[in-house]
Amino acid sequence: MTPPAQEGLGFDVRPSRPLVVTMVLFAIVMFAASGFAHYFKELAQIVLEWYSGSQDPTVGAASMRRVSVFALVMGAVIIAATLGRLVERHWSHHVGVEAVSSSARGEGRSISLRASAARALATWTVFAGMASIGRESAIIESGGAVGATAGKRFGGRGDAMAAAGIAAAFAAAYHAPIAAVFYVEETLRVRSSRRALMFAALGAAGGFITSTQLYGGETIFPSTQGSRWTMTGLALIGLVPAVIVARAFLRLRVRVSGGALVNRFPGPPWIAIGLFAAVAGAAIAWFPQASGNGMDALRQAELGATVTLALALSIGKVIGTTAALGAGAPGGVLTPTVSITSGFVLLGLLGAESLGLTVAHPWDVMVAAMAIGVAVGLRSPFVAVFLIPELLGDYTLVPVIGLVVGVAVIVDKAVDHVIERFGELVPARVYDEDA
């Protein structure tokens, strides 16, 4: 007699519902996840254009008075942090990327769709308010929550549908179907269920096709300009600094995320939230190109790599993103991580140029640094190998990025061994900001 499936042990549990019902559910989850990804961004851009005159937050922030930008970002972070604390107080174990990933692994985690919606609203608020934070975590969490809820409501455990929703949302948000599958497998560790992986692969393909064909999604970043050999050589030269920056930001954001510092503040929490929000507002008021998730600013680097842009992507974004997360505003760090890593690398290139060492195509080196940021800053090397080429719509970059990421991972592991002798490593687990 076959033993019954158990929760959390990775058994492939097939619900008793008819196949046609499963297919309909899958289609609903896939379309809901990709549609949410599109309209989340679309509605925020409409609001941005209404009050700033541009759908690009970096352009809008630069065109407004500094005091207005400061007040706007500060207010948005306070509202988002308040919503985040409310959700954490009532649904702490039933919401977040970590929770939906547990559901996708079949661990029996119940997911609150209402709480996910509230967190998504908080992230949308800071994104529409020009704060320096990633929006994609809300999209991915919502996709997983819809999948988990739909799967359980119709006679299943929700794990396969959660995996499908996460993958569809990731593919739609980043236009990266292959990276979406690796994200579900590598970052969320949905590896013990072949059924969940199959649903993830189908969800990623469906989310990507829906995003590009139905919503007119396009390649996010411009192509590289120089030869692959030159790009590889320069990337390897700047590899160690990129690894150090990615590691440093990983440790920093883990320490402050979820309002961890606010909870340890000796006075009333609202004072700490206000202080962090003020720092977040000041960062964007002083570095307008640090606003948003980083995608818009990175696109400007291909046209003109300036010191102002490099400072905004590095210093401005570190301060702005850390302060927003420190206040407790829900949001992701994948796009801020690639922005910060490539920003510091660009700063180094411009410094070398001032000494007479000219780099013909700094954008190419920044692209490689983005991959290092994902591989080290999110501990997701396989995601990095495919995500960055997919963001550029150029799969011929996969071998180059694969080589750079491979060396970066070796360096990262070597640093781990050194740090273990003197301190503690960042715990290797899923964080709600890992998207």
pLDDT band at 8 (very low <50, low <70, confident <90, very high): very low
Give residue-wise pLDDT tens across range 284-298.
999 999 999 999 999
Q: Quick check: helix, strand or coil at residue 105? A: coil
Supply the pTM of this predicted model.
Answer: 0.92
C-alpha distances (whole Å) from 368 to each of 175, 193, 328, 386 are 18, 33, 31, 12
Write out the two tokens for 216.
Answer: 């007119």
Which of the two residues, 19 and 178, has the higher pLDDT score?
178
Give residue-wise pLDDT tens across range 117-154.
999 999 999 999 999 999 999 999 999 999 989 988 88
Mean pLDDT across 380-404: 96
DSSP conformational letter for 314:
I
On the question of pLDDT at 397 being above 70, the answer is yes
Give residue-wise pLDDT tens across range 58-75.
999 999 999 999 999 999
On the question of pLDDT at 3 being above 60, the answer is no
The predicted structure's pLDDT at residue 13? 65
Q: Which amino acid is at 412?
A: D
C-alpha distances (whole Å) from 39 to each of 36, 47, 84, 172, 198 are 5, 12, 21, 11, 27
Q: Are the beta carbons of 410 and 243 closer than 8 angstroms?
A: no
- Nearest-5° angle of CA 43, CA 142, CA 138? 60
The predicted structure's pLDDT at residue 329? 94
* Residue 332 CB coordination number (10 Å): 28
Q: Are the beta carbons of 170 and 204 closer than 8 angstroms?
A: yes
pLDDT band at 10 (very low <50, low <70, confident <90, very high): very low
Give residue-wise pLDDT tens across range 26-52.
999 999 999 999 999 999 999 999 999
Q: Are the beta carbons of 180 and 204 closer than 8 angstroms?
A: yes
Q: Which domains does the chain have, with CATH numbers?
A: 19-214 (1.10.3080.10), 228-422 (1.10.3080.10)
